[in-house]
Amino acid sequence: MSRIRDNSISWETFNEGLWKENPVFVMLLGMCPVLAVTNSAMNALAMGIATAFVLVASSTLVSLLSKYIPKQVRIATYIIIIATFVTIVDYVIQAISLDLYNALGAFIQLIVVNCMILGRAESYASKYRPLKSIVNALGMSAGFTIALLSLGVVREILGAGSLFGIQLFGDNFQPWVVMVLPPGGFLVLGAWLLLFDWVNQRQQKKAEKQEAHHAS
Q: By CB under 8 A, name the binding residues for other proteins.
A: 28-29, 31-33, 35-36, 39, 65, 68-70, 72-73, 76-77, 79-81, 83-88, 90-92, 94-98, 102, 106, 109-110, 112-115, 118, 159-160, 175, 177-178, 180-187, 189-191, 193-194, 197-198, 201
In single-letter form, the type of residue at position 142 comes to A
**Minimum CB distance to other proteins smaller for 94 or for 210:** 94
- Residue 173 to residue 154: CA distance in whole angstroms: 15
Shortest distance in whole angstroms from residue 206 CB to other proteins: 15
In the complex, what is the shortest distance from the CB of residue 55 to other proteins, in angstroms, rounded to a whole number? Answer: 15
Q: Least CB distance from residue 2 to other proteins, whole Å?
A: 29
Q: Min. distance of Cβ 27 from other proteins in angstroms?
A: 10
HSE-up (13 A, CA, CB side) for residue 104: 27
Per DSSP, what are the bridge partners of residue 163?
Answer: 166
> Rounded CA gap, 147 and 32, in Å?
13
Closer to other proteins by Cβ: residue 95 or 215: 95
Nearer to other proteins, 139 or 159 (CB): 159
| Rounded distance between C-alpha atoms, residue 124 and residue 133, angstroms | 7
Kindly tell me which of 103 and 149 has the beta carbon lying closer to other proteins. 103
Closer CB to other proteins, residue 170 or residue 183? 183
Please report, as a single letter, which amino acid is at residue 20. Answer: K
Q: Could you write out the three-class secondary structure of 164-205? A: CCEECCCCCCCCCHHHHCHHHHHHHHHHHHHHHHHHHHHHHH
